Structure 1
Amino acid sequence: MRARSYMFFYEEDPSPHNKILLNFAKLEFNMIQKLYQQEVGVAVRWWKKSEFATKFPYARERIAELYFWPFSMNSEPKYSSFRRITAKLVQWMTVVDDTYDVYGTIGELELFTQAIQRWDIGCIASLPECYEAIFNAMVELFDEIIELLNAVDGELNLVLQFLKKASATYIESYMVEAKWCHEGYIPTYNEYRYNVTSTLYQALTIIFIAFGGFATKQTLHWISNNIPPIFQASSVVARLTNDLASHKFEQQREHVASAVECFMKQYGFSQEEAYEFINKEINNSWKVMNEEYLKLVEDIPRPVLDCIVNLARICEFLYANCEDKVTNCALLKDHIVALLLDPVAV
């Protein structure tokens, strides 16, 4: 999107500029835009084939909006397979999010959590059909990952092992929040923070490592065994920016307490004071990310580190000014048009 702005400024610059170079830049932008359109098209077809709209009428359909996650992690054309898979995965995760937030009962969610942990559909045989559909969609997605990665050099078994572990931990964190909501419990900030699901972004990063050709034992163990500080900081930025943007809407219905409510209860803060404290937490997390990036850049591939930092950056963009651009998708319309629909005039 910035590329469009740069081209416009360059073209309007009164000083002499290279028109041939500018035309090549416009043509390249339009060619790559076609690639992005194809990637979103794959996600749309997968959504329709899985019948999410009919099986999960409570779930948000935000295909183009969710594409901003894989796109932001790395937009280079050579990582197209990664973006195609991740676009599907974030859709699946959004359905899971909405299922735990607004649809499932505690009993149903406990059985579904067990099914993911054990990788056993038999745990949910007695549940409504939608749970089986969610489970089957995940299995099909893993099968597609296996098929694609068979053609890529790397630690396939280790990738799948860590990806399943991250998925199970991700689901467990939702179960914890569902119980808090059911019991009307407002956790302390530390409880809330420890349950902040960095494993969502861990799973996305593992997929990037696998499809990007970075799947060595060293890199996979680094990202999977103990959540690195740079990853924890990125996840905190993502969670807190989301909370600032969505907590007012979410508290209008039955929903787990956000970081704002946790701060207000634990410290006796007003809402304004909680906002101020959370913004300081976000700034401190960026300091940690920058420091850790410089420490790790010699040992961990730079694209992997960029991917982790970009997850925080896209969340700051999507939830800027306390606005949830994913739920209120009209706020993202102009950006979607610029990225995916309107070519640059040559």
Structure 2
Amino acid sequence: MHHGPKDDLDLDLDLSSAALVFRLLRGHGIPAAPTDMLSAFFGGGNNQKAAKDDMDGLLALYEASYLAFPGEAAVLDEARAFAVENLQRRQQAPSFMDALPLQWTAPRLRAMWSLRADYCCDDKRIDPAIVQLAKADFNLVQAVHRGELVKIIKWWKESGLGEKLAFARDRVVESFFCAACIAPEPHLGECREVLAKTSAIIVHLDDIYDLYGTPDELEAFTDAIGRWDNVSAAAAAGALPEYMKAMYSAIWKTSVTAADRVLHKHGYHVLPLYKKAWHDLCKAFLVEAQWQHQGYRPSFDEYLTNGWVTSTGPLLLLHALPTITQQPAEIMSMLQVPWNSSGSGSGSGSGAIEYPRLVELSSRIFRLCNDCASHQAESERGDAPSSIACCMTEMCASEQQARAAVQDAIADTWKELNEEVVVAAAAAGQWNPCSAESMANLCLNLARIIHCIYQDGDGITSPTHRTKQLIKDVLFNPI
């Protein structure tokens, strides 16, 4: 990772171009050294003087700084500070610091905001024909998504979960919105379907463990998921309460349907792996429920070790990954599980699933962003401790200080995720790790849409006006 394009090419670029080239190279998994490409613009000399008045260049430098790797703080953190200082000096800070950086924003949202912006029509540097084509493309894809949402809502009503678990949050539209931002391409309909269905079920499951189930009921349900077989969902559920039987049946039917598709298309029997992932999630939920009932406050590391699983990111990605690739064997090898087409595999064993590092990192971001949005409401309800509460205890810190520490942890995790995308691409021999049909793209987009959902509050538990408008604009309002 120590050689950038300037080692091989004599690129005489201005700040805006250099920052853009750096961001594009990093974003496509191509090695690029920030010291070579960017430091000349803020390290003193004539280039720095010119850069201070280059508004486009400063904004590009600010965005490029969010593709840092661990250990690059001396360069890219300094670059961000330089950009922010000079943008603030020109009173441009409010226009960008209130928004998420591009690297943390789902591409579908970036496209929508760009196409709805006035400058798209006013900027003479942009070909109007290209803008019209892009708008038509957005609207056509939106129509595809809207048609899929109708089917998801029909499935949800037929499942009866909304009536059988009336105490739980009904968030099927929000679930599909997230799915459409994780995998927006029209040909990834199966991926969106399994993501939306699984996510909608998870919201109800989370409420069972957090709010409704008794300790004995939760232990019985977790045990029933662990004994899941394909004889009969009702028989495996045993003597569970009726609302838990309904949840058990929904989990079983949804995962069986998803696994049958993978088996039919690719010849791989992934149902035991899905079962193991559901059991791991329920066990992690149960740990949090026990912390809550016992009044136990874990350390930050102990909390996050369990919390990246309870984020539900691993389960969602595991269900989604086989739908986007023509070579599911590669995914199974990444999960370190030997499979064969006869339907047997070690996924039914007792050990934990070995998820790829990409999955863990995006799920850690998921967990920490969720905590930042939900900490206050959950602490008032007396729920299990969040990462912020753990930091407050461990650091003897105020809530404000703990929130700052968690935000720093999110930024550091993003640096690890940026690097892992490039490392994973090199290991797999991929020239573009962020193509639509890649694990890296799913993991990145999961982390990105989570930032959006939890940016100004808990957009799942209590959707804000902004969240509702965003869903309308993405799914219902043509450009």
Both structures adopt the same fold (TM-score exceeding 0.5)? yes
Q: Which of residues 87, 92, 102 is equivalent to 2:211?
A: 102
Aligned equivalent of 1:114, options 213, 223, 227: 223
Alignment of 1:83-232 (within 5 A): 83-119=192-228, 121-122=234-235, 124-153=237-266, 156-157=268-269, 159-198=270-309, 200-223=312-335, 225-232=353-360
- Cα deviation, 1:179-224, whole Å, max 9, x if unaligned, reads 1111111111122111114372222222332111244333223146
1:19: Cα distance to partner? Answer: 4.1
Counterpart Cα distance in 1 of 2:333 and 2:123: 53
Describe the SS at the equivalent of 2:124.
coil
What residue is the counterpart of 1:339 in the other structure? Answer: 474
| Separation in 2, partners of 1:106, 1:342 | 45
Contact 1:55 1:130 in 2 (8 A): yes
Q: Which runs of 5+ in 1 are unaligned?
A: none
Higher helix share: 1
Deviation readout 1:68-94 (Å, 9 max, x if unpaired): 332222211110111012101101111
1:223-262 alignment to 2 at 5 Å? 223=335, 225-262=353-390
Confirm or deny: 8 A CA contact 1:10 1:17 kept in the other structure: no
Deviation at 1:312, TM superposition (A): 1.3
Task: Kindly tell me the number of residue pairs found equivalent between the two proteins.
Answer: 341
Q: Match of 2:461, SS?
A: coil
Query: TM-score normalized by structure 1?
Result: 0.92
Find the aligned partners of 1:41 and 1:273 in 2 and give their Cα distance: 44
Instruction: Give me the whole-angstrom Cα distance separating, in 1, the residues matched to 2:447 and 2:250.
Output: 27
Say what the alpha-carbon RMSD is for the aligned residues.
Answer: 2.0
Q: 1:330 — aligned with what?
A: 464
Deviation at 1:231, TM superposition (A): 2.5
Mapped partners of 1:281, 1:16: distance in 2: 39
Tell me how far 1:101 sits from its aligned partner: 0.6
- Residue equivalent to 1:294: 422
Kindly tell me: are residues 138 and 294 of structure 1, through their superposed partners in 2, closer, same or farther at Cα, counting changes over 3 Å? same
Are the equivalent residues in 2 in contact too, given 1:205–1:308 (CA < 8 A)? yes
- Could you tell me which runs of 5 or more consecutive residues in structure 2 were left unpaired when the two chains were aligned: 1-108, 337-352
Q: How far off its partner does 1:6 sit? A: 2.7
Cα displacement string for residues 16-40 of structure 1 (whole angstroms, at most 9, x for unaligned residues): 7544443333322222111111222
Q: Indicate how the Cα distance of structure 1 residues 11 and 299 shifts in structure 2: closer, same or farther if over 3 A, else same.
A: same
Shift of 1:11: 4.7
Distance 1:237 1:4 in 2: 24
Provide the secondary structure at the position in 1 that maps to 2:380.
Answer: coil
Q: 2:115, 2:444 → 1: CA distance?
A: 26
Per the alignment, do residues 305 and 114 of structure 1 end up closer, same or farther by CA in structure 2, a change over 3 Å counting?
Answer: same
**Residues 264 and 270 of structure 1 are in contact (CA less than 8 Å); yes or no, is this contact kept in structure 2?**
yes
Give the counterpart of 2:160 among 51, 55, 61.
51
TM-score, L = length of structure 2: 0.67
Give the residue type in structure 1 aligned to 2:115: M
Give the drift of 1:171.
0.9
- State how far apart, in whole Å, the 1-side matches of 2:378 and 2:196 are: 25
Change (3 A) 1:25 1:14: closer
- Counterpart for residue 2 of structure 1: 110
CA distance in 2, matches of 1:4, 1:235: 25
Are 2:146 and 1:34 aligned? no
User: Is the Cα contact below 8 Å between 2:175 and 2:199 reproduced in 1?
Assistant: yes
User: Which structure is larger by alpha-carbon Rg, 1 or 2?
Assistant: 2
Q: How does 1:69-84 map to 2 (within 5 A)?
A: 69-84=178-193
Aligned residues of 2:363 and 2:447 also touching (Cα < 8 A): yes
Q: Residues 13-66 of structure 1, C-alpha deviation per residue, up to 9 Å, x if partnerless? A: 252754444333332222211111122222211211111221111111112212
Distance 1:264 1:319 in 2: 21
